[in-house]
Amino acid sequence: MAEDFYKTLGVSRSASSEEIVKAYRKLARKHHPDLNPDDKTAKQRFQEIQAAYDCLNEPEKRKMYDQFGHDYEKMGSGPGGRGPFPGGNPFGGGRADGTGSGGFDYGDAFGTGGVDLGDLFRQFTGGGPGAARAGAPEGRARKGFNRREDMEAAITVPLATAVLGGDAEIKLDRGGVVESLRVKVPAGVQEGKKIRLRGQGHSRGGQAGDLLLLIHIAPHPCFKLNGNDLELKLPITVGEAAAGAKVDVLTPGGTVTLTIPPGSQSGKRLRVKGQGVRSASGTAGDLYIELQIKIPTQLPEDAIQKLQSLDQHYSTPVRNEIVW
């Protein structure tokens, strides 16, 4: 004998529609076949939950069920024997396992107005670089188990990889089996950019969806990214600042020789044209270098006295422009 629909959902016969929906969503999450691939009873249990919800969620069906029990569908209302509720599925006419013409709507099972499947399908591991959440485009799952389903993920790459391009690795957990996926990061990719990897998303028995990979760029200890420009704080010696010098500086395009003008001050900014990030269109940003004069932390007394003797060469007080 079939189990009582109220017992199936774990609610009382006086339960409100809100309580029925809440109970259904909880059980659907727990017993969905896709979330329990190793449980042979999950599909049957899910079908029972679906059938109970299909009935109790419809006021007229529920009324008939309360009066006639499981024979309520046989109480037809005209020729054809279809009963008063043809179709029987509020999700579009498909069977309870989601394989019918209408399919199963995650929006009804797990929330209204769309759902973030990241709470359901944790396809990626961890929470840092390379960690990911699974989801459908614009936060809504596509209907039908046999249809392709895109997946969203996030990965953090070094600044050098973002600027010059290169390979990165992300780990995917597919049904308990962790696999590594090599990702080709294009040169000049920006923070927050999404890369589409064809055929690396979910598959519900048909064509696999795509993986939408959100790029994050890890901070660099020396260089800072500002749009297509790079910024660098460059330490120089007192002698280089006073007399001027030519120093070698590493850039994404290789080593360049930077000319430091005589009498340079800390905070002076120099521009190296075209040594920033090259965009997909081929336009390159610039490298902006801020000079920082570094004084030795340990000096002999005679060296300190020589530096102090420079004070007489200031034409105006160094703090003359400080005002309140």
Encode pLDDT of 260-275 as tens digits.
999 999 999 999 999 9
Are residues 191 and 267 both part of a single domain?
Answer: no
pLDDT-based confidence at residue 144 (cuts at 50, 70, 90) = very low
pLDDT at 103 over 70: no
* Residues 151/123, Cβ–Cβ less than 8 Å: yes
Residue 323 in any domain: the answer is: no
Mean pLDDT along residues 39-60: 86
Residue 94 in any domain: the answer is: yes
Residue 322 in any domain: the answer is: no
Are residues 25 and 76 both part of a single domain?
Answer: yes
What is the tens place of the pLDDT at every residue in 11-21? 999 999 889 98
Per-residue confidence (pLDDT) for residue 273, from 0 to 100: 93
Are residues 121 and 204 both part of a single domain?
Answer: yes
Are residues 98 and 68 both part of a single domain?
Answer: yes
How much is the pTM?
0.50
pLDDT at 308 over 50: yes
Q: Helices H, strands E: what count in the chain?
A: 8, 11
Q: How many domains does the chain have?
A: 3
Domain C-terminal end among 170, 185, 217? 217
What is the tens place of the pLDDT at every residue in 206-224? 677 788 889 999 999 999 9
pLDDT at 101 over 80: no
Are residues 30 and 93 both part of a single domain?
Answer: yes
Are residues 60 and 32 both part of a single domain?
Answer: yes
Amino acid at position 199, single letter: G
CA 91 to chain centre: 29
What is the tens place of the pLDDT at every residue in 88-100? 333 333 333 443 3
**What's the mean pLDDT when you consider all of the chain?**
76
Residue 144 in any domain: the answer is: yes
Tell me the residue range of the domain where 35 lies. 5-110
Write the CB contacts of 291 (distance below 8 Å, at least 6 apart in sequence).
Answer: 234, 236, 241, 260, 264, 265, 266, 267, 268, 269, 270
For 271-279, the CB contacts below 8 A with 24+ separation are 275/230, 275/251, 276/228, 276/229, 276/230, 276/252, 277/162, 277/163, 277/188, 277/225, 277/227, 277/228, 277/229, 277/230, 277/252, 278/187, 278/188, 278/228, 279/188, 279/228
Residue 169 in any domain: the answer is: yes
Are residues 142 and 231 both part of a single domain?
Answer: no
